[in-house]
Chain A
Amino acid sequence: MAKKRVVSIKLNGDPVEFLCEPRQTLLEVLRDTLDMTGTKEGCSNGNCGACTVLMDGRPVTSCLVLAVEAEGAEVRTVEGVACGSHLAPVQQAFLEGAALQCGICTPGFIMQTEALLTENPSPTEEQVRFYLAGNLCRCTGYDKIVRAVMCAADKRRAAMDD
């Protein structure tokens, strides 16, 4: 078996070190080694976006990233979105807009939305739909998700104006 590696990353702002095999994906290590089970496994081939995390600020499907490739990276997962016991505007908007049914796709959508609104604080509905094209909701609740993202954009802008 290939030798295990020590990998150092910054996870939700905190330095973290873990031991992994080269064949383990970032998704596997997050869930099985680091007990960060907020990130979900869906298709495991990069199609569904359920495992989306931010790597150095950019959304990636963590099922297609080897954990060893994350060496030195800043990784942000859904566990790092809320501020203490206060939900982030994106989370609050999903909750208030009932933008989830079974909830498996939700952490991926939340991370993708975080990235979108950081890059583009005032997206049009069409821009939202294209940016979220890599996230699939098997319950097909897309309209509520898109409305929640538009609402989250408003909340974030309002929070910044305060």
Chain B
Amino acid sequence: MRDFDYAVPSTLADALALMAGASVARPLAGGTDLIDHVRTGRLAPDLLVDIKKLPELNRLEASPSGLRLGASVPCWKVIASTEISRDYTALVDSCRIIGGIQIQNRASVGGNLCNSGPAADSIPSLIALGAQCVIASKDGTREVPAEAFCTGPGKNVLQPGELLVELKFPARAARSGSHYRRFIPRNEMDIAVVGVGASVTLDESGQRITDARITLGAVGPTPLLATDAAQALIGQAFDDDVIAKSVAAAKAIATPISDMRGTAEYRVHLVGVLLARVLKAAVARARGETFTYQPGH
């Protein structure tokens, strides 16, 4: 593997100074993408800054005002969190299917976002749940909504010297529910052919949708926020007609490629199948019904 230096700072200020100093510095969280990319030569860092000892990046704080999730928190801690499992279920759905158990024990949600793969399993959930990305550099801090973070396959808004610190989620609204699922040709350990995430909020009757966010993965150069598909639901009673309208709007913005995992036509079809299932599950959860996502079923 390429020669590089390694630093493990204990304060955010030290980490940001290191990120700003070296010619090519890369933050190291779980390393499940990064180490492979360095080994294969896709990335050529001079310095890896291990961010796992930084308190700000290890934060996992759920409170009435929302959730703060540090960028280096591994998937297993997200899965193990009772608050996230209860209020941000789409994110747990995602973390449970990122790689196998060994990968989930290392890989972070922040890393999955910064790797910025079009088929990344956590990003549609981050967008559907309204996450804000807190980015720091030695010059200050800025926030970017999750849907504006990725700019292309493997590309994002981070500038040299910047570090993703945490993801901030709004409090879960009353009578809201969320879900993410993907299609793969096997039961586990694969890259999404299509992934769909959604968060919906219902009125007091539990029948009418008052708010919705829908995200599509692997059907464009970045995960897509499907605004029209969500608008088709808002103010409507949740039934098959309204699902069909939302599906049509979602399919209209999907611009997938054809590759070995599926043709473009097949992927567009999958958007419809998955979105209908995701919406039904999110609505069930919003109604307080138990819906456990079991991959392979």
Contacts and interface: CB of A to CB of B under 8 A. Distances in A.
Interface residues of B, number: 32
The winner among A22, A24, A60, A64 for most chain B CB atoms within 10 A is A64
A46 B102 contact: yes
Given A2-B3, A69-B50, A49 B100 contact: yes
A60 B106 contact: yes
Contacts of A52: 102
Contact of B100 (A45, A55, A134): A134
B187 interface: yes
B13 interface: no
Nearest to A44: B39
Interface in B160-194: 187-189
A65 B101 contact: no
A3 interface: yes
The winner among A3, A45, A59, A69 for most chain B CB atoms within 10 A is A69
A112 B36 contact: no
Given A2-B5, A22-B5, A66-B6, A134 B106 contact: no
A58 interface: yes
A150 B99 CA distance: 23
A74 interface: no
Nearest to B40: A45
B210 to A, nearest CB: 36
A61 B188 contact: no
Given A23-B1, A58-B76, A134 B101 contact: yes
B242 to A, nearest CB: 34
B102 A23 contact: no
A68 interface: yes
Contacts of A5: 6
Given A46-B103, A60-B106, 9 more contacts: A23-B1, A46-B102, A65-B106, A66-B6, A69-B50, A112-B101, A115-B101, A130-B295, A135-B100
20 contacts: A1-B3, A22-B6, A45-B36, A45-B39, A45-B40, A46-B36, A46-B103, A49-B100, A64-B31, A64-B32, A64-B106, A66-B48, A68-B8, A68-B50, A69-B50, A71-B8, A133-B100, A133-B188, A134-B101, A135-B100
